[in-house]
Amino acid sequence: MTLLPFTDPGAGAGDPAILVLANDADPLQAALDGVKRVDLHFPKFTDGRAFSQAFLLRRRRDFQGEIRATGDVLADQLAQMERSGFDVAVLRADQDLALARRVLARYPGYGVGCYQGDAVHVTPHFFAVG
């Protein structure tokens, strides 16, 4: 997962390859033709609807482009964001980038050696066939 420091939330506005999806929008209804990046917003760190949106974009819509977390993004949310399908997280302004990288490094291998699948690695590592 790529981590970015806080930037202007309006960056990329007007670019047809970037879809900014409101956190109450249904990702199953979003027009994705020509979209290379979807920005999902966390208005508060306690509002987890963007996790569900990312998961649906990856698993049900098979979206292969970048999914970016914006808004109230904290370092301790990063592992779950990665498992939900996010590629990039733009950290809240008061979050330390170096600390966030260390936090994320503590959870290597989700999907590899994991007992359950996620949005990125659908089949668990220990899945046994017949």
Which tens digits make up the pLDDT trace of 54-104? Answer: 999 999 999 999 999 999 999 999 989 998 999 999 999 999 999 999 988
At 34, which CATH number?
Answer: 3.20.20.70
Look at the chain and report how many structural domains it folds into: 1
DSSP states of 19-47: EEE-TTS-TTS---TT--EEEEEESSTT-
Q: Read off the pLDDT band of 124 (50, 70, 90).
A: low
Query: Are 38 and 67 spatial neighbours (Cβ–Cβ below 8 Å)?
Result: yes
In a domain, 129, yes or no: no
For 83, the domain range is: 2-105
In a domain, 83, yes or no: yes
In a domain, 128, yes or no: no
User: What is the H or E stretch that residue 69 is in?
Assistant: strand 66-71
In a domain, 120, yes or no: no
pTM score: 0.80
Residues 11-61 have pLDDT tens digits of: 666 788 999 999 999 999 999 999 999 999 999 999 999 999 999 999 999
In a domain, 25, yes or no: yes
In a domain, 94, yes or no: yes
**Total residues found in the chain within this entry:** 130
